[in-house]
């Protein structure tokens, strides 16, 4: 039996376990990346492990999230990350150099290699044939120290592409189509491989758009073949030596095959407040638009923005629309500037934002109250834009431009018969904004610089055999990490200050939760389906840990979040019967008994002393995960291994 692309990479990096679906495996990690919203905590964790030097082939620290410096907090975090990177062997991408996924794709990604990053959209690297995973900061810290990355061996899904995209239909529309087919939880437990003759019609940036948004499916990761198109991209980036051909075997076996005919697609749009709430753009014709944002790690490549410039050239945006454009990297911005395309964008009335995540994570450019914002981003969760009552829609750059020009949602095929942009034969290459680390000998004398906003990792404690807890909060289905731990310009500066950050926990859902949890001292959270979807931010586990959360009981969990809970020493448990969710209410007092045997045997008895009902909670942990939970989290477990 042949192997899929992902199975080939896993096999060549397998450290322990067997490639049997559903079983835990450990794989060697070649590269890591962090960004500043999660990186500070990851490096604090790395330092706590007492390691002097990273052991990966390449580790890069990016500054791309917390770039608004309205006080000392973000600047101090950046200084800390730069100093710790210099000392411990990590490359440092300066603020303004670009979004981690865009820059990494351009300058460091390699087909056939493995990458984990403390950002859920790290699977962007799959666009170049790299097996790339989003992970919590603790997992990244362990990988930097030479430790393996543990996952459950995924199922393999294949999306078979035929045909060719029609004019003004894009890779973003492919992403929205697969979300329409599978939903935000349809990829859970699976790696999604893209194949078929249609793949040959897609450039590396287009492929990266698709793998980027595979995260919204809940997939473990997504990946494309490495072929001649990959080689041409690497050649243009001056990195042709990094190329290797990589395809699935002809007799590879997949658990599911989905067919998409590119020729049949039309412009699509994800409506509020979920990426899988997908409709045809033509169905929403005439909806008034207040704001348009073009950029993010999904759609900020040179290819995307040259198309934007071409569509805007000689035109003016609607007087009722505010338009922002965020180039994905310094390379993209430089090439737009030198070609004159940037002038076309500015002349049309766009506001140029720096090469950073910006509005995508609520870092500025929030919509007006009850405003309609069309964004080329990957998420439109409630409140993520910074305006709770805004209606945020996800679209392609072409659809975004059409709305900016007309002031309403408009099928982009009505404004143009199509724009063709050839990939450059050579990209502008200037890596001066990536600062290399000091040599090992020079690093000995270097000081790591810490500001007053940087606080220690929350205290963890070994698991007790019995927990007496109250239900501090009960929530519904599809709770995201943005619900649990919001982003935005007001909150992100405190990512390295867990005590202060805790004030905002679940504030989108229940503004009184944080104070209530602290008063309870020991509590659990009850959730519905797909609890913890979205970002990889481990703060969505670390802050509840600080607030005294001992367990989360849900109908089901998102992959990265369940790993982050275990790493924090919080027990993720599921209801044996989904209907049991109804029998637990906020404020109920619960007893979880015989936990040591329960987590080993996969069943824990819950006594609800408020209602006198008893339930069975299910869990499925590996021996390693059991030891992590018993120790009080991955950090304590790692220390115990020394």
Q: How far is CA 444 from the centre of its chain?
A: 34
Residue 126 has pLDDT above 70, yes or no: yes
Mean pLDDT of 123-135: 97
The CATH classification number of 467-487+495-636 equals 3.20.19.10
Measured distance CA(330)–CA(335) in Å, rounded = 8
Contact between residue 379 and residue 270 where contact means Cβ atoms under 8 Å apart: no
Helix axes 100-107, 330-339, angle to 10 degrees: 80
Give the torsion sign (CA, 347, 351, 357, 361): negative
Q: Which two tokens stand for residue 381?
A: 């969760």
Query: Could you read off the pLDDT of 34-47 as tens digits, one per residue?
Result: 999 889 989 999 99
Distance CA 351, CA 397 (A): 15
310-314, 454-458, 572-576, range with the lowest pLDDT: 454-458
**Protein fold of 268-411:** Aconitase; domain 3 (3.30.499)
Confidence of residue 642 (pLDDT cuts 50, 70, 90): low
Token pair belonging to 474: 């009960």
Quick one: pLDDT at residue 536? 78
154-169 pLDDT, tens digit per residue, is 999 999 999 999 999 9
Which residues on adjacent β-strands are paired with residue 24?
Answer: 152
How would residue 501 be classed by pLDDT, with cut points 50, 70 and 90? very high
pLDDT tens-digit series, residues 564-620: 999 999 999 999 999 999 999 999 999 999 999 999 999 999 999 999 999 999 999
**Is the predicted pLDDT of residue 559 greater than 90, yes or no?**
no
pLDDT over 90 (residue 70):
no
Q: Can you give the residue ranges of every domain in the chain? A: 5-264, 268-411, 467-487+495-636
Q: Quick one: pLDDT at residue 461? A: 87
Average pLDDT over residues 406-415: 98
**Equal fold, 5-264 vs 268-411:** yes
Q: Give per-residue pLDDT as tens, 185-224.
A: 999 999 999 999 999 999 999 999 999 999 999 999 999 9
The reported pLDDT for the residue numbered 208 is 98
Burial class (CB within 10 angstroms; exposed 0-12, middle 13-18, buried 19+) of 54: buried
φ, ψ for residue 183 (rounded to 5)? 80, 175
Query: How far, rounded to the nearest angstrom, does the alpha carbon of residue 475 sit from its chain's CA centroid?
Result: 22
Give me the pLDDT at residue 364, please.
87
Which helix H or strand E contains 614, and what residues bound it? strand 613-618
DSSP 319: T
d(CA 514, CA 134) in angstroms, rounded, equals: 27
Sheet holding 91-93, edge to edge: 131-134, 114-117, 31-35, 58-62, 91-93, 434-435
Distances (CA, A) of 293 to 28, 376, 395: 38, 7, 10
Please give the full DSSP string across 547-586, using - where no structure is assigned. TTEEEEEES-B-HHHHHHHHHHTPEEEEESSGGGGGG--T
By mean pLDDT, which of 93-102, 342-351, 503-512 is the weakest? 503-512
Arithmetic mean of pLDDT, 245-272: 98
Q: What share of the chain is helix, strand, coil (3-state, %, to 5)?
A: 35, 20, 45
Provide the 3-class DSSP secondary structure of residue 484. helix
Percentage of residues in the chain having pLDDT higher than 70: 100
Q: For the residues 74-83, what does the mean pLDDT come to?
A: 95
Indicate the pLDDT class of residue 252, thresholds 50, 70 and 90. very high
Residue 212 contacts residue 124 (beta carbons within 8 Å): yes
Mean local confidence (pLDDT), 67-88: 93
Superfamily for the 5-264 domain: Aconitase, domain 3 (3.30.499.10)
Under DSSP, the state recorded for 204 is H
Quickly state the pLDDT bin for 413 (edges 50, 70, 90). very high
Single out the residue of 530, 513, 635 nearest to residue 182, CA to CA: 530
CA dihedral 29, 30, 34, 39 (to 10 degrees): 60
Mean pLDDT value across the chain: 95
Token reading at 522: 């020991």
Identify the bridge partners of residue 280 per DSSP, sorted by sequence position.
268
In tens, the pLDDT along 374-405 reads 999 999 988 888 898 999 999 999 999 999 99
Residue 120 and residue 128: Cα distance in Å, rounded? 17
């Amino acid at each position: 039996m042949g192997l899929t692309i992902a199975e080939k990479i896993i096999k060549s990096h397998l450290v322990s376990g067997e490639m049997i679906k559903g079983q835990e495996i450990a794989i060697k990690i070649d590269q890591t990346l962090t960004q500043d919203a999660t990186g500070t905590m990851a490096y604090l964790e790395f330092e706590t492990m007492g390691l002097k030097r990273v052991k990966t082939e390449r580790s890069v620290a990016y500054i791309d999230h917390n770039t608004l410096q309205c006080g000392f907090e973000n600047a101090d975090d950046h200084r800390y990350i730069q100093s710790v990177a210099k000392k411990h062997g990590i490359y440092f991408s300066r603020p303004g150099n670009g979004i981690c996924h865009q820059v990494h794709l351009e300058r460091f990604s390699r087909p056939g290699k493995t990458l984990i990053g403390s950002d859920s959209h790290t699977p962007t690297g799959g666009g170049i044939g790299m097996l790339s995973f989003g992970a919590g900061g603790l997992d990244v810290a362990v990988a930097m120290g030479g430790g393996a990355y543990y996952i459950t061996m995924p199922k393999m899904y294949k999306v078979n592409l035929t045909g060719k995209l029609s004019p003004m239909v894009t890779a973003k529309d492919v992403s929205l189509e697969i979300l329409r087919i599978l939903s935000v939880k349809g990829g859970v437990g699976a790696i999604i491989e893209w194949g078929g003759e249609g793949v040959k019609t897609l450039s590396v940036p287009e492929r990266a758009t698709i793998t980027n948004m595979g995260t919204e499916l809940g997939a473990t990761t997504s990946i494309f073949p490495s072929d001649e198109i990959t080689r041409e991209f690497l050649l243009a980036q001056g990195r042709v030596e990094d190329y290797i051909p990589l395809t699935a075997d002809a007799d590879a076996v997949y658990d599911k095959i989905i067919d998409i005919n590119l020729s049949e697609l039309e412009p699509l749009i994800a409506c509020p407040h979920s990426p899988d709430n997908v409709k045809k753009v033509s169905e929403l014709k005439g909806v008034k638009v207040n704001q348009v944002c073009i950029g993010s790690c999904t759609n900020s490549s040179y290819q995307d923005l040259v198309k934007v410039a071409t569509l805007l050239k000689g035109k003016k945006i609607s007087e009722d629309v505010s338009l922002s454009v965020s180039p994905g990297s310094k390379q993209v911005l430089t090439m737009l500037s030198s070609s004159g395309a940037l002038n076309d964008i500015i002349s049309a009335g766009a506001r140029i934002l720096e090469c950073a995540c910006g509005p995508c994570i609520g870092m500025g450019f929030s919509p007006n109250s009850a405003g309609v914002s069309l964004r080329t981003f990957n998420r439109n969760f409630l409140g993520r834009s910074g305006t709770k009552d805004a209606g945020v829609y996800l679209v392609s750059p072409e659809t975004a431009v059409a709305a900016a020009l007309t002031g309403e949602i408009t099928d982009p095929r009505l404004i143009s018969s199509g724009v063709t942009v050839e990939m450059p034969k050579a990209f502008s290459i200037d890596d001066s904004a990536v600062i290399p680390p000091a040599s090992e000998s020079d690093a000995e004398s270097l000081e790591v610089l810490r500001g007053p906003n940087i606080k220690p990792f929350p205290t963890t404690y070994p698991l007790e055999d019995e927990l007496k807890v109250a239900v501090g909060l009960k929530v519904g289905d599809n709770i995201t990490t943005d619900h649990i731990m919001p982003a935005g310009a007001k909150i992100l500066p405190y990512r390295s200050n867990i005590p202060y950050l805790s004030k905002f926990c679940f504030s989108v859902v229940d503004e009184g939760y944080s104070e209530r949890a602290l008063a309870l001292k020991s509590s659990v959270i009850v959730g519905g389906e797909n609890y913890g979807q979205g970002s990889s931010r481990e703060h969505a586990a670390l802050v509840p840990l600080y607030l005294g959360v001992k367990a989360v009981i849900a109908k089901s969990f998102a992959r990265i979040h369940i790993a982050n809970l275990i790493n924090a020493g919080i027990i993720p448990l599921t209801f044996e019967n989904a209907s049991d969710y109804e029998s637990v209410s906020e404020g109920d007092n619960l007893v979880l008994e015989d936990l040591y045997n329960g987590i080993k045997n996969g069943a824990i008895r819950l006594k609800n002393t408020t209602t006198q009902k008893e339930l069975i909670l299910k869990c499925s942990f590996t021996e390693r995960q059991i030891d992590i939970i018993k120790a009080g989290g991955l950090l304590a477990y790692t220390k115990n291994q020394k």
